[in-house]
Structure 1
Amino acid sequence: MTSISVAQSRGSFYLALLVAFHVLIIIASNYLVQLPIDLFGFHSTWGAFSFPFIFLATDLTVRLIGKSEARRVIMRAMIPALIVSYIVSVLFHEGRFNGVSALVEFNTFVFRIAFASFAAYVLGQLLDVQVFDRMRRGYVQWWIAPAASSVFGQALDTAAFFSIAFWQSSNPFMAEHWGEIAVVDYVIKLAVSLLLFVPMYGVALSAFIRAMKRRDALSAVA
């Protein structure tokens, strides 16, 4: 599988679409991380199942339109994601709708989660881009780059998020269990990424390449 160049107009459209996708997943994950679950006796959150989508999108971005464009997506997504994540998390704090009036009072607990997500997203995604780009240049096998970037990127993302959001938190449950939840969260995200999203990456990449080749062939005939 090789990198495919896209037209400037198409590239701009894909970048805008990816930014919107990143913001959407961050918002969803910030909401879902407030909902704890028990898995085989271990504490985790529903956010562990949503956030790996971002790594899939980032890896496809690096492969298809390059490392610099992937970084542009991250830079464009981080501030809108921080703002909208705070608003959504306040409105739906602890999984229930609290009404628009909840926005009148600044919620430090929710803002801490939103800021932790912001910091973790930037750190984890930039590391993911760097590891993925280096691995794809050094190895022929298509799956090595997304697998390696998931291992390292999600480790940094998880550690940054839970330590910033919940260390000495005002939430007694999260303050006591954040370390355990972080480890379980990382294991779940890594398992989901390696067993589901890496194969999805391969399928999606093949589909994108075939579609681009067909478009190029039609353009050449026209």
Structure 2
Amino acid sequence: MRKLLLPVLAMVGVVVSSNFLVQYPLDGTLAGINLADWLTWGAFTYPAAFLVTDLTNRAFGVALTRRVVYAGFAVGVVLSLLLATPRIALASGTAFLFGQLLDVTVFNWLRRMSWWKAPFIGTMLGSIVDTSVFFSIAFAATGLPWGQWALGDFAAKITMAILFLAPYRALMNVIRPVPQPAMA
């Protein structure tokens, strides 16, 4: 299990930093748009969770990756309770679990296709679920612009998913895939 220590620590770091940063909207404007109405700082850190999940899945397979997700969930929620509100921690944990487990499954289904399809499609589908669940639990009925934050967050996740394809591709030569049984 020592081999999973780095992925678990990376996952916990992403979750905790994102739960802290999601409480802070961006300041400033861009092309006349008030960024605070569309984005929080957590939108830029959380997508790294999908990269950690996909690299772990490539290296260790689906079963051990699920363990990393569960460990990241448990430790991340406990630590997030210290740095964020209980509502943020609950929303994050729920969204994280559903989004990451979906990513693990989709990645595994697509892992034999073109190198970019498994990480990109898994991240896209996981991001849709994660964003929907998180923002509806965390900010519904608060009066905050959570619908706009959800759209901005999703756009940031997709942008980051595209950008994270480069390090994923670069690390493919370093991280050899776990042997997978032949598909029937």
Structure 1 length normalisation: TM-score?
0.74
Runs of 4+ deviating beyond 4 Å: none
Cα 1:76/1:133, change in 2 over 3 Å:
same
Residue 203 of structure 1: aligned partner: 170
SS in 1 for 2:51: helix
Per-residue deviation, 1:24: 1.0
Residue 29 of structure 1: aligned partner: 18
Per-residue deviation, 1:206: 1.3
Residue 148 of structure 1: aligned partner: 121
Report whether the alignment pairs 1:160 with 2:133: yes
Q: Percent of aligned pairs with the same residue?
A: 38
Higher Cα Rg: structure 1 or 2?
Answer: 1
For each residue in 1:103-126, what CA deviation from the matched residue of structure 2 results, as whole angstroms up to 9, or x when unmatched?
Answer: xxxxxxx10011000001000000
Residue 89 of structure 2: aligned partner: 114
Residue 190 of structure 1: aligned partner: 158
Larger proportion of helix: 1
Report whether the alignment pairs 1:51 with 2:18: no
Structure 2 length normalisation: TM-score?
0.88
What is the CA–CA distance in structure 1 between the aligned matches of 2:44 and 2:69, rounded to whole Å?
Answer: 20
SS in 2 for 1:35: coil
Residue 13 of structure 1: aligned partner: 2
**Alignment RMSD:** 1.7
Residue 124 of structure 1: aligned partner: 99
Report whether the alignment pairs 1:69 with 2:64: yes
Per-residue deviation, 1:39: 5.9
Unaligned runs of 5+ residues in structure 2 are 177-184
